[in-house]
Amino acid sequence: MTKNKPIYILGIESSCDDTSAAVLCNGKVLSNVVANQEIHSKYGGVVPELASRAHQQNIVPVIQQAIQQANIDKKELHAIAFTRGPGLMGSLLVGTSFAKSLSLALDIPLIAVNHMQGHVLAHFIEEENQQKPPFPFLCLTISGGHTQIVKISNYFTMEVIGETLDDAVGEAFDKSAKILGLPYPGGPLIDKNAKQGNPKAFKFTKPRVDGLNFSFSGLKTGILYFIQKKVKENPNFIEENLNDICASIQYTIVEILFDKIKKAVKQTGITHIAIAGGVSANSEIRKRLKATEEKYGWTTYIPKFQYTTDNAAMIAIVGHLKYLENDFSETKTVATARLKVQEG
């Protein structure tokens, strides 16, 4: 396969509450369309049944838009990559069924993609001024559903060396925000308010967890009890101290993450560190990771904002890498809600 020959891959992502489609040519993004579902904010979280219905409404126009923006004809596509899992079953089924139908109609290969591998391999999208990590590297994968330290030896050899034993870091942010009365999704609002606050104003206990694993449920409970106690003493406590509370919560969560990353670097000797997943959009995490270059001599890799949250460009890049290896899926491939990062 010559390097100059254009390879067009359509990526479809529907694992949670965003319907997304992207077209890549030789690993370069031609289009990356995302339809968000506003409906969930009034429920304070994603409602699976509503999510799958919204995917059904969005999927055709989103894919149509992605192909139009890429300025190609659908007949020029070489393969269709779709998210097989992990995610919400009802949501995954919409993307999976559509990908299968389109691949049969166009008579082109189907490529099943692990959503978590998509987050990690988003670092290999062809972008100007974006350095790609060399193998092996460590990736801190942080989202609403996952918190993992993954050792990546090559594109498809990944090993989880540390993970959360309970809640994911994104959940810790969102649930803390809910305790403070902030709307869903609350993680970005904690980040925004924290910028004006004092991170050392309130001290929260960091959980003690062995090895490289994480735990956030105890921290969440600690925050809840702290707020309940303070509000009892002063009903306006949250309003009067919102920025400081947010800064202190964020500081504690970021400290927990970086304690483990430092430990992972010490254990593995790997100093190429990447972040991936929705929570990697957090400004404090990005700032702290960048600071390690000077402080510890690490080389860090931070994805562009549009590739941190769920998007189809990351699914398409995995599709591109699998296409080059002729790693195709059969039409009988099924979606699966639970899938480990090392499972293709």
CA–CA distance, 166 with 172 (Å, rounded to integer): 10
Model confidence pTM above 0.85: yes
20-29 pLDDT per residue, tens:
999 999 999 9
Eight-class DSSP state of 146 = -
Domain boundaries, the chain: 8-124+307-324, 137-303
Q: Over 50: is that where the pLDDT of 2 sits?
A: no
Residue 1 has a pLDDT of 45
- Candidate from 36-40, 319-323, 326-330 with smallest mean pLDDT: 36-40
54-71 pLDDT per residue, tens:
778 889 999 999 999 999
148 vs 17: which has the higher pLDDT? 148
Average pLDDT, rounded, for the chain? 93
Residue 37 has a pLDDT of 60
Integer angstrom CA distances of residue 114 from 55, 121, 158, 167 = 19, 10, 12, 21
Preceding amide of 109 cis, omega within 30: no
In this structure, whether the domain defined by 8-124+307-324 belongs to CATH 3.30.420.40 is answered with yes
Q: Over 70: is that where the pLDDT of 45 sits?
A: no
Convert 58-72 to b/e letters by CB count within 10 Å (16 or more is b).
Answer: bbeebbeebbeebeb
* CATH number of the structural domain 137-303: 3.30.420.40
240-250 pLDDT per residue, tens:
999 999 999 99
Q: Over 80: is that where the pLDDT of 260 sits?
A: yes
CA–CA distance, 75 with 187 (Å, rounded to integer): 41
CA–CA distance, 28 with 9 (Å, rounded to integer): 10
Strand-pairing partners, residue 158, are 152
241 vs 2: which has the higher pLDDT? 241
